[in-house]
């Protein structure tokens, strides 16, 4: 995704000691579904299987949230993010928030 910043889900990066902790960084986005995809999803839930429209929507939301987190880290002077996570929550019917977060560090 971004070659300037190392991003890991662990609390350390093997062989790269943390020189400075810069704080929590995050990026979030709220995405909503459209009526057409809701109707298709309702039909798809009857027969089962993956709902591609929702999968694609959430994949794009994760990518956007991740990019915003990277920008937040760069603005703090970080060259790495440790303890990276995604979190998703429903804001209202038809809209979900995706948050990417972690700890910005210099290694």
* Complete domains list, the chain, with CATH: 6-32+62-106 (3.30.110.70)
User: Taking the model in full, what pTM does it have?
Assistant: 0.80
Give pLDDT, residue 48.
60
Ranges of the chain whose pLDDT falls below 50: 1, 35-37, 39-40, 44
Which tens digit of pLDDT belongs to each residue from 44-57? 455 566 666 677 87
Give pLDDT, residue 1.
46
Contact at 8 Å (CB) between 88 and 58?
A: yes
Sheet holding 6-7, edge to edge: 6-7, 80-92, 95-106, 20-32
């Amino acid at each position: 995704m971004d070659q300037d910043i190392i991003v890991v889900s662990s609390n350390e990066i093997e062989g790269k000691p943390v020189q400075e902790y810069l704080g929590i960084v995050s990026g979030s986005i709220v995405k909503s579904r459209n009526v057409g995809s809701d109707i298709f999803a309702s039909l798809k839930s009857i027969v089962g299987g993956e709902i591609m429209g929702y999968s694609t929507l959430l994949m794009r939301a994760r990518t956007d949230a991740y990019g915003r987190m990277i920008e937040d880290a760069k603005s703090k002077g970080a060259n790495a993010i440790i303890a990276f996570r995604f979190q998703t929550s429903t804001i209202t019917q038809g809209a979900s928030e995706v948050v990417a977060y972690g700890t910005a560090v210099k290694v």
